[in-house]
C-alpha cells in the first residue's frame, strides 16, 4: 500500500483513474461523475482532509481508498471509500487494501471503520460491495436509496407545491444564498450543521456529535468552491424568536453540471410538520434555475428509514436510481 499526495499530479491521476473507472462501470451511462479537482479539494480540506491510499502491483494502481481524517470529533472512527479497478477485480486486491486500511486506522487510534458502497440503477440490492463487505466481516450500518429528480422541474409542478406547502409555514421566513453564509447567520448556521450529525437517522449506526464553528463552516465553503461547485443554501428562520431552525444545501459542479447533488437537509425536531424541508428544497431549486447551468437531474440519497424526507422527495418527482450502503466494523478494544 502507498500513500498518494494530492499535489503529486502523476500519482493523483493514477489514483483518480481507478475511482473513475469503477464509477463509469457502475453507472454505465454518460453521467460525468466525480471530477478530479473535487477529490483533490477534499483531500486538502482544512478540517477533514481525505488521506489517499493505493494498492499497487509494480507501477499499476489496482485499488484505491480515501480516508476521511476527522480532526474535531469522531476520532474513534474512520470513514473509508474503497474501489478496485474493474479490470483487476476478484484477485484479492480489495481485500488486501481494506486490510491495510484497517491497520492504518488502528495505528492512528481509530477503533471502527465505516465504508459506503454505492450501487447504480441496475444493481440496487446486489452491488459487488455487499458481498465484499460481508465477506470481510462488516455489518450493515445503513441502507439508503439514491433518488433522481428530472430537471428542470415544470413550472406548474413547482407552483402547485409552493401553494400547497406555504400555508403550513407562515411562522417562518426563508432566506437563500449562494456560496458564503452571511456573517450575521454564521454561528447559527454552524449550530445547525452540528445538529445534523446527531439528528439524521441511521438504521444501525451512532456517530458522535460533530463539532462545528464558524471556522469549520468557512472551510466547508472554501472546499466546496475548490471542488468547482456552487453551494446553494436555504434556511428557515422562526419569525417569533428570530432563530434559524432548518437548512438545506444543494450543490452543482460548474464544469460538469449534468447532475446537481442535494447535500444535507435538516429541520430541528420542534419545528417539523411545517413543510419546511420541501419549501427549502424548492427555494434551492429556484436558485439552481437561475444559474443557467445545463442540469439534467438532481440527485439525493435518503436512508430507507427516513420516511418523511423520502415522502418530500417523491412529491418533488424523485425516482429510485441507485443505492448507498454503509458498512461498519469494530477494529478492536478502545485504548
Ligand atoms: C467491492 C470491491 C471493492 C471488491 O474489490 P475486489 O478487489 O474485487 O475484491 P476481492 O477480490 O478482494 O474480494 C474479496 C472477497 O469479497 C467477495 N466479493 C468481492 N466481489 C464480489 C462479487 N462481485 N460477488 C461476490 N462476492 C464478491 C468474495 O468473497 C471475495 O473473495 P473470493 O474472491 O475469494 O471469493 C469492488 O467490486 C469495487 O470496487 N466495487 C465498487 C466500489 C464498492 O462497492 N466499494 C465498497 C466496498 S465496501
Q: pLDDT by residue (tens digit) across 170-199?
A: 999 999 999 999 999 999 999 999 999 899
Average pLDDT, the chain: 96
Write down the pLDDT at residue 29: 63
Residue 8 reports pLDDT greater than 60:
yes
How far does the chain reach from its first CA to its final CA, in angstroms? 25
Write down the pLDDT at residue 117: 96
Residue 119 CA to ligand 1 center (angstroms) comes to: 13
Q: Cell numbers 431549486 correspond to what residue?
A: 285
Who contacts 65 (Cβ-Cβ below 8 Å, separation ≥6)?
52, 53, 54, 80, 81, 82, 83, 97, 98, 101
Residue 164 reports pLDDT greater than 60:
yes
Q: Sheet containing 77-84: which strands, arranged edge to edge?
A: 2-4, 50-57, 60-68, 77-84, 112-119, 319-330, 139-150, 297-303, 259-267, 244-253, 229-238, 172-178
Could you report the per-residue pLDDT of 66-87, keeping only the tens digit for each? 999 999 999 999 999 999 999 9
Average pLDDT for 26-33 = 76
Task: Measure Cα distances from 21 to 18, 85, 110, 228, 334 in Å.
Answer: 5, 6, 30, 21, 37
Write down the pLDDT at residue 3: 98
For residue 226, with 0-12 CB atoms within 10 Å meaning exposed, 13-18 middle and 19 or more buried, which class applies? middle
Write down the pLDDT at residue 30: 59
For residue 154, with 0-12 CB atoms within 10 Å meaning exposed, 13-18 middle and 19 or more buried, which class applies? exposed
For residue 297, with 0-12 CB atoms within 10 Å meaning exposed, 13-18 middle and 19 or more buried, which class applies? middle
Instruction: Say what percent of the chain tops pLDDT 90.
Output: 95
Residue 48 CA to ligand 1 center (angstroms) comes to: 27
Write down the pLDDT at residue 333: 80
Spatial CA neighbour of 235 closest among 308, 176, 162: 176
Cα–Cα–Cα angle for 49, 53, 55, rounded to 5 degrees: 170
- pLDDT category at 20 given cuts 50, 70, 90 is very high
Q: What are phi and psi of 198, to 5 degrees?
A: -105, -15
- Give the residues across from 249 on adjacent strands: 233
Q: Which of 2-11, 28-37, 215-224, 266-275 has the lowest mean pLDDT?
A: 28-37
Could you report the per-residue pLDDT of 253-301, keeping only the tens digit for each? 999 999 999 999 999 999 999 999 999 999 999 999 999 999 999 999 9
Residue 161 reports pLDDT greater than 60:
yes
Contact 33, 27 (CB under 8 A): yes
Please identify, by atom number, the ligand 1 atom nearest to the C-alpha of residue 96.
12
Q: What are phi and psi of 124, to 5 degrees?
A: -60, 125
| Domains of the chain: residue spans and CATH | 2-145+326-330 (3.40.630.30), 148-322 (3.40.630.30)
Write down the pLDDT at residue 49: 98
Residue 44 reports pLDDT greater than 70:
yes
Contact 168, 177 (CB under 8 A): no
Instruction: Say what percent of the chain tops pLDDT 70.
Output: 99
Residue 297 CA to ligand 1 center (angstroms) comes to: 30
Q: What is the DSSP letter of 87?
A: G
For residue 184, with 0-12 CB atoms within 10 Å meaning exposed, 13-18 middle and 19 or more buried, which class applies? exposed
Ligand 1 binding pocket mutation candidate from 55, 94, 323, 327 (most atoms within 8 A of CB)? 94
Residue 2 CA to ligand 1 center (angstroms) comes to: 20
Residue 32 reports pLDDT greater than 80:
no
| Cα 98 from Cα 159, distance rounded (Å) | 49
- pLDDT category at 28 given cuts 50, 70, 90 is confident
* Cell numbers for 159: 407552483
Residue 136 CA to ligand 1 center (angstroms) comes to: 9
Residue owning the nearest CA to atom 33 of ligand 1:
90
Backbone torsion region of residue 142, taken as left when φ is above 0, otherwise alpha when ψ lies between -120 and 50, otherwise beta: beta
Residue 334 reports pLDDT greater than 90:
no
Supply the pTM of this predicted model.
0.95
Write down the pLDDT at residue 81: 98
Amino acid at each position: 500500500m502507498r500513500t498518494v499526495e494530492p499535489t503529486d499530479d502523476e500519482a493523483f491521476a493514477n489514483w483518480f483513474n481507478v475511482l473513475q473507472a469503477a464509477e463509469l462501470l457502475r453507472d454505465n451511462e454518460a453521467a460525468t461523475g466525480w471530477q478530479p479537482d473535487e477529490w483533490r479539494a477534499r483531500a486538502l480540506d482544512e478540517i477533514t482532509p481525505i488521506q489517499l491510499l493505493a494498492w499497487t502491483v509494480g507501477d499499476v494502481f489496482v485499488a484505491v481508498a480515501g480516508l476521511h481524517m476527522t480532526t474535531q470529533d469522531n476520532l474513534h472512527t474512520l470513514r473509508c471509500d474503497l474501489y478496485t479497478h474493474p479490470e483487476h477485480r476478484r484477485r484479492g486486491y480489495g481485500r488486501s487494501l481494506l486490510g491495510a486500511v484497517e491497520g492504518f486506522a488502528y495505528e492512528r487510534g481509530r477503533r471502527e471503520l465505516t465504508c459506503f458502497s454505492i450501487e447504480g440503477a441496475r444493481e440496487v440490492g446486489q452491488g459487488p460491495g455487499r458481498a465484499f463487505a460481508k465477506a470481510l466481516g462488516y455489518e450493515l450500518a445503513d441502507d439508503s436509496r439514491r433518488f433522481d429528480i428530472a430537471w428542470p422541474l415544470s413550472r406548474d409542478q413547482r407552483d402547485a407545491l409552493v401553494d400547497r406547502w406555504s400555508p403550513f409555514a407562515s411562522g417562518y421566513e426563508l432566506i437563500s444564498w449562494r456560496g458564503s453564509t452571511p456573517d450575521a447567520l454564521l454561528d447559527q448556521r454552524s449550530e445547525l450543521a452540528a445538529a445534523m450529525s446527531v439528528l439524521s437517522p441511521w438504521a444501525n449506526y451512532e456517530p458522535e456529535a460533530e463539532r462545528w464553528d464558524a471556522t469549520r463552516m468557512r472551510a466547508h465553503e472554501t472546499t466546496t468552491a475548490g471542488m468547482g461547485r456552487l453551494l446553494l443554501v436555504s434556511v428557515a428562520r422562526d419569525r417569533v424568536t428570530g432563530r434559524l431552525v432548518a437548512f438545506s444545501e444543494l450543490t452543482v459542479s460548474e464544469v460538469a453540471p449534468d447532475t446537481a447533488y442535494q447535500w444535507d437537509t435538516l429541520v430541528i425536531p420542534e419545528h417539523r410538520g411545517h413543510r419546511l424541508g420541501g419549501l427549502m428544497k424548492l427555494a434551492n431549486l429556484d436558485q439552481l434555475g437561475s444559474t443557467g447551468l445545463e442540469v439534467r437531474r438532481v440527485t439525493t440519497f435518503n436512508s430507507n428509514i427516513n420516511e418523511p424526507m423520502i415522502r418530500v422527495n417523491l412529491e418533488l418527482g424523485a425516482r429510485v436510481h441507485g443505492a448507498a450502503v454503509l458498512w461498519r466494523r469494530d477494529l478492536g478494544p478502545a485504548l
